């Protein structure tokens, strides 16, 4: 087995950094001398990936919002493309960030470099015609969600369902009592509040979530609130929203600790994204909210860009609306608060949510990082993978 394997990666933001770190760990177990480099976050860097640029530079959402950062993104992609072409890695792995990674992958693949997209773009939900471009850009798509594989195979794209690392990491039965003790919570009802991991989404949802907390506090002053924050920037934005919209409401703002907070919570107010899957894996009832910039939302509605029946991952995975999802102006403090109250008071509904979420958890618990590493190895024939 060769000891000169060189693997390039590009990850976008917090969740991509987590996925990339797990994949690097699994690949290094098979290829101890492998070299990793690219756009990386702190977890990937800790696992030995040389950070040529920071993953946070890709943490932009929304069609028009990207335009504000377009010069930097274009410059970054041109630079990283040039450096990757010069480095000639054995394989390139784009971790999420499809708008950035697929164009890069297409350039690299045309130069003879094997390419992988780890985390499928939501082509089954938004602009399904993109699958043709994906077919030209990558040798394989590693899917986190089970229903994605059939979509790609029907389009002639090699795809593999690997499961989700979070499903492997989070126990099937969370230790709620232990989590509450660690956070010093009483026996009062507890609502966890997760307004997002990116500055843009917290700016759009922070005031709404704070308003929902105030709405709930007026009606149920016995509720305790905990708010785990992804980083110092999002914490600052959310704390300003709390000061303006929820002054006097008892809330503990945490640095990180999202899994501990979800284990302890009775219900969750959460921004659409990876945190909804994390909440599902903790079997917690939730209200999911999603807000885009006004121009982006107008474009999505005007041109009917969204094709899926739901935008919240728990509903997509369940195949039905099992938790409330509120989009754009429908995501109001009163709508969120009333939905949370209904969940807190509906014991039978909570039991059904727990049953369905447990089934989904078991389905997604597949050793994702190891499966993803095996799929990458199959693209490296000179180190024991499938023949070219």
Whether the pLDDT of residue 251 is over 50: the answer is: yes
Judgement on whether residues 215 and 356 belong to the same structural domain of the protein: yes
Q: What is the CATH number of the domain that holds 191?
A: 3.40.50.2000
Query: Kind of pairing, strands 35-40 and 6-11?
Result: parallel
CB proximity list for 247: less than 8 A, separation 6 or greater: none
| 372 and 357 fall within a common domain | no
Q: Are residues 17 and 154 in the same domain?
A: yes
CA-CA distance, 237 to 123, in Å (whole number)? 31
- DSSP class of residue 98? H
Is there a single domain that holds both residue 117 and residue 255? Answer: no
pTM of the model: 0.83
Pair (13, 153) in one structural domain: yes
DSSP string, 312-325: SHHHHHHTS--S-E
* Residue 1 resides in a domain: no
Q: For residue 388, what pLDDT is reported?
A: 37
Please state the rounded mean pLDDT for residues 92-96: 96
116-141: pLDDT as tens digits: 999 998 776 566 667 888 999 999 99
Residues 265, 334: one domain? yes
Of 103, 99, 93, 95, the closest CA to residue 137 belongs to 103
- CB atoms under 10 Å from CB of 358, counted, come to 15
Assess if residue 55 is contained within a domain.
yes
Q: In terms of domains, do 175 and 290 share one?
A: yes
Mean predicted confidence (pLDDT) in 349-374: 97
Q: Is residue 102 part of a domain?
A: yes
Beta strand 190-194 with 267-271: parallel, antiparallel or unpaired? parallel
Provide the mean pLDDT of the chain. Answer: 90
Q: Flag whether 388 is in a domain.
A: no
Q: Are residues 293 and 348 in the same domain?
A: yes
Residues 5, 379: Cα–Cα separation, whole Å: 12
Same domain membership, residue 97 and residue 28: yes
Are residues 358 and 371 part of one domain?
A: no
How high is the pLDDT of residue 1?
42
pLDDT score recorded for residue 295: 65
What's the domain range around 122?
Answer: 6-163+366-383
* 312-346 residue pLDDT tens: 999 999 999 999 999 988 999 999 999 999 999 99
Query: Strand, helix or coil at 6?
Result: strand
Cα separation, 156 vs 95, in Å, equals 21
Q: Which tokens belong to 175?
A: 């230790």
Tell me how many domains the chain contains. Answer: 2
DSSP string, 146-196: TTHHHHHHHTT--EEE---HHHHHS-SS--HHHHHHHHT--SS-EEEEE--
- What is residue 383's predicted lDDT score, i.e. its pLDDT? 65
Q: Are residues 316 and 372 in the same domain?
A: no
Residues 275, 336, single domain; the answer is yes
Report whether pLDDT(184) > 90: yes
Q: What is the mean pLDDT of the segment spanning 159-183? A: 95
Whole-number pLDDT of residue 99: 87
Is 109 a member of any domain? yes
- Per-residue pLDDT reduced to its tens digit, 18-39: 999 999 999 999 999 999 999 9
């Amino acid at each position: 087995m060769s000891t000169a394997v060189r693997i390039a990666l590009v990850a976008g933001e917090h969740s991509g950094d987590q996925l990339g770190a797990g994949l690097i760990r699994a690949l290094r177990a098979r290829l101890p001398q492998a070299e990793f480099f690219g756009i990386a976050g702190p977890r990937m860097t800790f696992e030995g990936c040389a950070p040529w640029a920071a993953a946070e530079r890709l943490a932009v959402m929304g069609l028009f919002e990207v335009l504000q950062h377009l010069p930097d993104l274009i410059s970054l992609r041109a630079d990283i493309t040039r450096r990757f072409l010069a480095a000639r890695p054995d394989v390139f792995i784009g971790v999420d960030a499809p708008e950035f990674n697929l164009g890069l992958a297409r350039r690299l693949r045309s130069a003879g470099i094997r390419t992988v997209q780890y985390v499928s773009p939501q082509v089954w939900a938004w602009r399904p015609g993109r699958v043709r471009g994906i077919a030209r850009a990558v040798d394989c798509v590693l899917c986190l969600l089970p229903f994605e594989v059939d979509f790609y195979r029907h389009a002639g794209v090699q795809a593999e369902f690997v499961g989700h690392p979070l499903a492997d990491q989070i126990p099937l039965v969370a230790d709620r009592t232990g989590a509450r003790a660690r956070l010093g919570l009483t026996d009062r009802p507890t609502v966890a509040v997760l307004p997002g991991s990116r500055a843009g989404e917290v700016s759009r949802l922070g005031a709404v979530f704070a308003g929902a907390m105030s709405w709930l506090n007026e009606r149920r002053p016995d509720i305790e609130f905990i708010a785990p924050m992804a980083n110092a920037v999002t914490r600052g934005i959310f704390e300003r929203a709390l000061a303006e919209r929820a002054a006097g409401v008892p809330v503990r703002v945490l640095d990180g600790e999202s899994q501990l907070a979800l284990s302890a919570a009775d219900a969750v107010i959460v921004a659409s994204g990876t945190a909804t899957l994390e909440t599902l894996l903790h079997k917690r009832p939730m209200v999911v909210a999603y807000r885009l910039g006004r121009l982006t939302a107008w474009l999505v509605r005007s041109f009917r860009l969204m094709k899926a029946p739901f935008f919240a991952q728990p509903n997509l995975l369940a195949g039905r609306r099992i938790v409330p999802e509120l989009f754009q102006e429908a995501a109001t403090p009163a709508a969120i608060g009333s939905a949370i109250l209904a969940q807190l008071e509906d014991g039978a509904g909570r039991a059904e949510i727990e049953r369905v979420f447990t089934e989904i958890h078991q389905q997604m618990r597949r050793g994702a990082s190891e499966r993803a590493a095996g799929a990458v190895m199959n693209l490296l024939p000179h180190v024991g993978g499938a023949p070219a």
